[in-house]
Homo-oligomer: A and B are copies of this chain.
Amino acid sequence: MTRAMFGRGIGSAAEPIPNTDMSAELASLSMPSPVLTASGCAASGRELDQFFDITKIGAIVTKSVMLRARSGRPTPRMCETPSGMLNSIGLQGPGIDEFIEVDLAWLEARGARTVVSIAGESVDEYGKLAQKLRTAGGVDAIEVNISCPNVADRNQVFACDPEMAANVIQTVRRQSDSQTPIFAKLSPDVTDIAEIARSVVRAGVDGLTVINTALGMVIDVETMRPALAGVTGGLSGPAIRPIALRCVWQIRQALPDIPILGVGGIRTGLDALQFILAGANAVSVGTMTFNDPSAPMRVHNELALALSERGFSSVSEAISYGHRGADIFEADGAGEIEPE
C-alpha cells in the first residue's frame, strides 16, 4: 500500500496499456475486479445475474442480514431526491438461518465471491451472527453494518460511537473464523469519521467500508407529512458522492495501510477511479444499480479503460495516487476543514 502510494509515477502515461491488471485485494480477499455490489442494492445477487455474470465482478455484498426474519418498515420506503434517493427499508430479510440455507448456498454454487453483511440490535446479536457464519460455506468476508441502533443503549447508533463500534467489532472478530476478513461499515453522520475508523481498527477489523447512507428527509408537499413512513431515511446516490469521497480521503490520510472499500454514488468508471485515487482498494456500486442493472459490470469495464488510458498497468498502482506529494501521515486531515 504505502509503496503503491508513493512509489512509481504513472509509467508510460501516454500509452494506454490494453491489459490493465484488474485484480484487487481487500485484506485477504482476492478478487478479479475491484468493483463490488453494495449491501442492500443487490439482494443476494440472483436477480443481477440475469443482467451480467456476477462471478466477473469483485464480489456480491449481500443485504444486511439479522438474526431473525424481519418484516422491515411500512411503505413508503423510498423517495427520489435530486441526484439521489432516500430509503427506509428497515432491514427486511429472512434471518440468518434461511439466508445461509438459501442465499449463501446459491451464491456458493454459482461460484460468486460473497461478502456477507450482518446487522444486529445488540453486541450479542452481532456475535451470534458471526458464530452462525463461522460454520457456513461460501463466506469470503464479513461486512459489519454498524449503522444500527443499539436497543440496549438509548438506541444510539453503533457507528456513531467509537466505543460501541469497537465492541461490536471485537465481538465479531472473536466469534469469526480468523481466516475470514472482517470489514466495518462506517456512517458519514459523525463529527470525526477518522476517530471511528481508528477505533474499529484497534478493535481488530481487517478493513473499512466507507460509507453507509447519510440521514436525510423529505416532506411530501401534498400530504404535508414526511414522505417516508419511517420519517427519516438514508440518502444515497451521486448526491452524496463528494461526501463519501471525502470520508475515504480522510481515513486514508489517518490510516495509510487499512484496506478501504469505497461506496457512495458511484455511477461510472471515472467515479470509481476517483475513489481509488482517494485511497479505496475497491469500490461498491449501490444505488446506481437501480438505475442500470448492469452498472457494476459496466463500471468495471469503464474503470479498466480509464486506468489503461492513464497508463496504470494495475488497479493497485492507482490506489491512493491522488495523495501523492501530500503528507499523508499527518493526523486527522484537520488541515482540510473548510472554513466557509
Contact = CB atoms under 8 A, between A and B. Distances in A.
Interface residues of A, number: 74
A270 interface: yes
A310 B222 CA distance: 8
A249 interface: yes
Interface string A269-284: 0100110011000000
Interface stretch (A96-104, A107-115, A169-177, A329-337): A329-337
B265 A231 contact: no
Interface stretch (A25-33, A44-52, A122-130, A233-241): A233-241
Contact of A338 (B81, B154, B233): B233
Nearest to A248: B217
Interface string A204-231: 0000000011111111010011100011
Given A238-B82, A306-B221, A213 B340 contact: yes
A232 B338 contact: yes
A336 to B, nearest CB: 4
A83 interface: yes
Most buried by B among A148, A189, A270: A189
A331 to B, nearest CB: 9
Contacts of A337: 149, 155, 157, 215, 232
A261 interface: no
Contact of A225 (B83, B119, B212, B322): B322
Contacts of A338: 87-88, 147, 213, 215, 230, 232-234
5 contacts: A81-B241, A147-B339, A216-B245, A224-B322, A235-B243
A187 to B, nearest CB: 9
Nearest to A79: B242
Interface string A300-334: 00000010001000000000011010000000111
Given A189-B191, A273-B221, A334 B245 contact: no
Given A225-B322, A249-B217, A322-B226, A83 B339 contact: no
Given A226-B322, A340-B87, A340-B213, A221 B274 contact: yes
